[in-house]
C-alpha cells in the first residue's frame, strides 16, 4: 500500500462517503499509523484525508488548511474528525474546530498522545528531543536540513545545547528504525532512549469513532 506524499492532499477510503461514514483530516506524518489501525481493527467506515506532513514544521498553515478541508467535505460525511493535537497552533486549531463544529485529538502534540497525554505530562521532560517512527525515517527532511545543519553543523550547539537526550517514541518494534534513531542521537550528540509507545491515545481516540 502506498502512502501519501508530503505534498499530497488526498483521501484514502474503502467505500464512497455516505451514511455512517467518518472523515479523518490528519497530519500526513500520521498516515501510516492511521492506515495500520484501520486495517487492524477493520475500521472500514473511516476515510482518511492527509494534509502535507511538512506542516509539522509550519503550524501556521494547519488551521487554514483544516478550515478549507472541512468546508469542502462537510456535506459528504456524517462526521469529520481532526487528527491533530494543538501542534504548535497556540490554541487556534481548537478554536477553529469549535467554530466548525468538529472534534479533534486532545493533547499538545503527537509526542504527547503517542505516549498517552497523562503519562507524558507527568514526565515533565524539558530537556528531551522527541522522534516518532515517521520522524526517524524523515529526519533529514524534517530536522537536519530545515535547521540548516547539513550546511552549518556548528549550529548544533545553538539548537540542541540545552537538550540532554533524544527520546525515540517507537510506534512499531523495528530494530532497523531503532538503530537509525540511535544514529540520529549520535549526530546530535545526545543520550539515546527508546520507548515503545505503540499508538497510545491515537488508538483509543479513533476507537471511539
Find the mean pLDDT for residues 57-80: 97
Express each pLDDT in 3-38 by its tens digit. Answer: 344 334 344 444 454 568 999 999 999 999 999 999
Question: Under 8 Å CB-to-CB from 125, ≥6 apart: which residues?
Answer: 167
Res 13: pLDDT = 44
Residue 71 has what pLDDT?
Answer: 97
Residue 56 pLDDT > 60, yes or no?
A: yes
| Chain segment 137-180, per-residue pLDDT in tens | 999 999 999 999 999 999 999 999 999 999 999 999 999 999 99
Q: What percent of the chain has pLDDT over 90?
A: 90
pTM: 0.88
Q: Which domains does the chain have, with CATH numbers?
A: 11-105 (3.40.50.2300), 112-196 (no CATH)
| pLDDT (mean) for 99-125 | 96
What Cα–Cα distance (Å) separates residue 69 from each residue in 77, 80, 93, 110, 186? 12, 10, 13, 21, 40
Amino acid at each position: 500500500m502506498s502512502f501519501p506524499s508530503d505534498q499530497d492532499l488526498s483521501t484514502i477510503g474503502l467505500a464512497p462517503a455516505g451514511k455512517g461514514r467518518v472523515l479523518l483530516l490528519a497530519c500526513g506524518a500520521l498516515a501510516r499509523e492511521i492506515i495500520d489501525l484501520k486495517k487492524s481493527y477493520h475500521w472500514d467506515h473511516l476515510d482518511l484525508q492527509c494534509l502535507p506532513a511538512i506542516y509539522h514544521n509550519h503550524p501556521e498553515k494547519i488551521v487554514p488548511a483544516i478550515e478549507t478541508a472541512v468546508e469542502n467535505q462537510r456535506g459528504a460525511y456524517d462526521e469529520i474528525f481532526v487528527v491533530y493535537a494543538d501542534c504548535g497552533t497556540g490554541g487556534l486549531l481548537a478554536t477553529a474546530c469549535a467554530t466548525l463544529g468538529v472534534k479533534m485529538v486532545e493533547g499538545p502534540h503527537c509526542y504527547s498522545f503517542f505516549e498517552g497525554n497523562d503519562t507524558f505530562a507527568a514526565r515533565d521532560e524539558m530537556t528531551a528531543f522527541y522522534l516518532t517512527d515517521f520522524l526517524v525515517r524523515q529526519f533529514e527532511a524534517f530536522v537536519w536540513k530545515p535547521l540548516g545543519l547539513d550546511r552549518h553543523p556548528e549550529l548544533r550547539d545553538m539548537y540542541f545545547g540545552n537538550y540532554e537526550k533524544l527520546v525515540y517514541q517507537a510506534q512499531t518494534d523495528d530494530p532497523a528504525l531503532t538503530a537509525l534513531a540511535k544514529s540520529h542521537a549520535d549526530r546530535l550528540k545526545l543520550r539515546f532512549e527508546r520507548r515503545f509507545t505503540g499508538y497510545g491515545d491515537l488508538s483509543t481516540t479513533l476507537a471511539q469513532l
